[in-house]
Amino acid sequence: MARIECPKCHHVVDTPGIVTVCPECGADLRGVMEELAHRREKMRDVAHDDSVTTHEFIVRTKELEKIYVMGEVEVPALRGVEINIRRGEYLSIMGPSGSGKSTLFNMVGGLDKPTKGTCFIEEVDMAQLDAFELAWLRCRKIGYIFQTFNLIPVMTALENVTLPMIFAGMSSDEMMERGAMLLELVGLGDRLHHKPYELSGGQQQRVAVARALANAPAIILADEPTGNLDLQTGKEIIDLLKELNEESGVTIISATHDLKMIDVSDRVVHIRDGQVERIENRADIDLDVGSLGSEADPELDE
Amino acid sequence: MINKELARKLYAEDDRLEPGAEVQRQITLPWGQAARISYRNVTMRLGRAMITGAGVVLGIAFLCSVWTAKVAQEGIARFEATSATYVGGEEASLAPGAEEAEAEAKARAARQAWLVVMSLLVSAVGITNSMLMSVTERFREIGTMKCLGALDEFIVRLFLIESAVLGMLGSIVGAILGHLIMLVVYITKERGVAAMMDWGQMVEYILIALGIGTVLSLFAAVPPAVRAARMPPAAALSTEI
């Protein structure tokens, strides 16, 4: 409990709860303490009221737990993760491999079901959705980018980008036009009819980014998007994501252990052993990294 | 640098797509589009498709060759029987020969039934095996499609079209192959065999073989496809083959 002020002599008591009487004037402090506790409870209720949080948080997780059963051994991958992700935010989930960040990614993206706890997307409880609604959510609300690109190998870049639009029921002409525009946006306007194997890794990932944007989702989930790319190409993809985030306001959630991501992230969530270790805001990180980076990399000064 | 205007435009367009309108709240895969994707899958992976199809071709070719042999032997037997009555003339000399022929026909029928069962088994195993492989090696793709918003039945639909087409094409090739090879074998043995055969029966057998090939490949492909489609996308994506 925080410090309270004695109502009589205005002496500040540091340890209410241990001391129930003001050490200066001997007045009874229990009334003030009760009032404070009551006020706190009220604040907590407000924080949990959906109507208050709806617009601020696009993704919320609540006591998210995931246990993988491998033979007879139970391996906990997530142990009560609670994060709130703001609309329009560029959030990075960092952690060593095996820390549970990919598992968290799968839960938030509706790709797997948690063992316990829930995940809310735009205040919709994912656990309550049936298969159709879940597919709709994946199709319209979330765009996915993977470490291994996961393009459909038999389709051209344009066909890959338009596939989610087919599912969304878009007309053929509209689809082609939008697909071409999206590829243009990611800088592949001249590669529309190339197959994935005819493209470099960076180009394939750009196609994946365009595909993630197909139905103008509110969230882009990226699982180690730079994991299979060299430094320069990785940087290009990160910059592309950041620019998209700034221009279109799409929320980007990226699981990564690429330190280049820190520069562009609004917040960084550090995961360790299936729990949130700490959450850093960009302002704090700038202080840590900025002085080092500006000497080593002159580009950062721009 | 990205084209900022384009980025904004692509997102501004989304206002029409917002889920406010009930009409937009749909997930579809029209049969036409599904057929197009399946066609792509077959033509782009022609080598793989041919291996899958080869299972069907071999099975049905075996089945058809056995049936062709059956029809040809029956034709020859019938021809010999009629010419025997014609040549023999007398009833007394005919009786023991007919009995012998009858016993021989029975033994032949049993042998052929056994061969048909065997060839059906061979084709069933071959088809199931190749279809199972072609689904399994595409788990990742299935997971990806589900991430993009595909319903379970879309996945099944794609494999249904693909396996039906592969099964049908494979059966046609197999039936022609098996039939022709066996026919040539019998023609070299007995020149006039084509005239002795019951062609109505032969066509019937070939159609049955086509049906068996198609149905078998459908039945072999659908269960693994359903299983793959029902997997949580995370599990399908993390499959390593």
Indicate if the alpha-carbon torsion angle B173, B179, B182, B183 is positive or negative.
Answer: negative
Please tell me the predicted confidence (pLDDT) of residue A52: 43
Please tell me the predicted confidence (pLDDT) of residue B67: 87
Determine contact: B217 vs chain A, CB below 8 A. Answer: no
Residue A196, helix vs strand vs coil: helix
Please tell me the predicted confidence (pLDDT) of residue A210: 94
Cα(A214)–Cα(B29) distance, integer angstroms: 16
Task: Please indicate whether residue A181 or residue A3 has the higher confidence score (pLDDT).
Answer: A181
Please tell me the predicted confidence (pLDDT) of residue B81: 80
**Chain A partners within 8 Å of B2 (Cβ):** 185-187, 240, 243-244, 247
Minimal Cα–Cα distance from A114 to chain B, Å?
A: 11
**Chain B partners within 8 Å of A163 (Cβ):** 145, 148
Domain A54-301 listed as CATH 3.40.50.300:
yes
pLDDT higher than 50, residue A291: no
Please tell me the predicted confidence (pLDDT) of residue B19: 46
Is there a contact between B27 and A216 if contact means CB atoms under 8 Å apart?
no
Rounded to 10 degrees, the C-alpha dihedral A123/A128/A134/A136 comes to -60
Mean pLDDT, rounded, for B90-98? 55
Q: A207 pLDDT band (50/70/90 cuts)?
A: very high
Token couple for A285: 């990180």
pLDDT higher than 70, residue A162: yes
Closest listed residue to residue A105, CA positions, set A220, A208, A249, A245: A220
pLDDT tens-digit series, residues B39-57 = 888 888 888 788 878 888 8
Cα(A66)–Cα(A64) distance, integer angstroms: 7
The whole-chain average pLDDT of chain A stands at 83
**Chain B partners within 8 Å of A168 (Cβ):** 17, 24, 26-28, 149
Please tell me the predicted confidence (pLDDT) of residue A295: 43
Please tell me the predicted confidence (pLDDT) of residue A16: 59
Domain with CATH 3.40.50.300 in chain A: 54-301
Mean pLDDT, rounded, for A121-136? 87
Task: Please indicate whether residue A203 or residue B219 has the higher confidence score (pLDDT).
Answer: A203
Of A270-284, B23-37, B176-190, where does mean pLDDT reach its minimum?
A: B23-37
Please tell me the predicted confidence (pLDDT) of residue B74: 84
Please tell me the predicted confidence (pLDDT) of residue A285: 60
Residue B74, helix vs strand vs coil: helix
pLDDT higher than 70, residue B151: yes
Determine contact: B16 vs chain A, CB below 8 A. Answer: no
pLDDT higher than 60, residue A47: no
CA distances to A90, B97, B98, B146 from B152, rounded to whole Å, are: 32, 64, 62, 8
Cα(A278)–Cα(A161) distance, integer angstroms: 36
* Contact predicate B52/B127, CB 8 Å: no
Nearest residue, CB atoms, B4 vs list A113, A166, A247: A247
Cα(B67)–Cα(B209) distance, integer angstroms: 9
The alpha carbon of B188 is separated from its chain's Cα centroid by a whole number of angstroms, namely 30
Q: A180 pLDDT band (50/70/90 cuts)?
A: very high
Q: A302 pLDDT band (50/70/90 cuts)?
A: very low
Token couple for B89: 């003339």
pLDDT higher than 60, residue A53: no
Q: A40 pLDDT band (50/70/90 cuts)?
A: low
The verdict on ipTM greater than 0.90 is: no
Please tell me the predicted confidence (pLDDT) of residue A45: 54
The whole-chain average pLDDT of chain B stands at 81
Is there a contact between B2 and A250 if contact means CB atoms under 8 Å apart?
no
Determine contact: B46 vs chain A, CB below 8 A. Answer: no
DSSP class of residue A11 equals P
Please tell me the predicted confidence (pLDDT) of residue B92: 47
Q: Phi and psi of A161, rounded to 5°?
A: -70, -35
Q: Which of A167, A172, A209, A224 to mutate to test the interface with B (most CBs of B within 10 A)?
A: A167
**Chain B partners within 8 Å of A78 (Cβ):** none
Is there a contact between A244 and B28 if contact means CB atoms under 8 Å apart?
no
Is there a contact between B1 and A185 if contact means CB atoms under 8 Å apart?
no
Please tell me the predicted confidence (pLDDT) of residue B95: 55
pLDDT higher than 50, residue B73: yes
Nearest residue, CB atoms, A215 vs list B3, B17, B37: B17
Q: CA of B6: which chain A residue's CA is closest?
A: A185
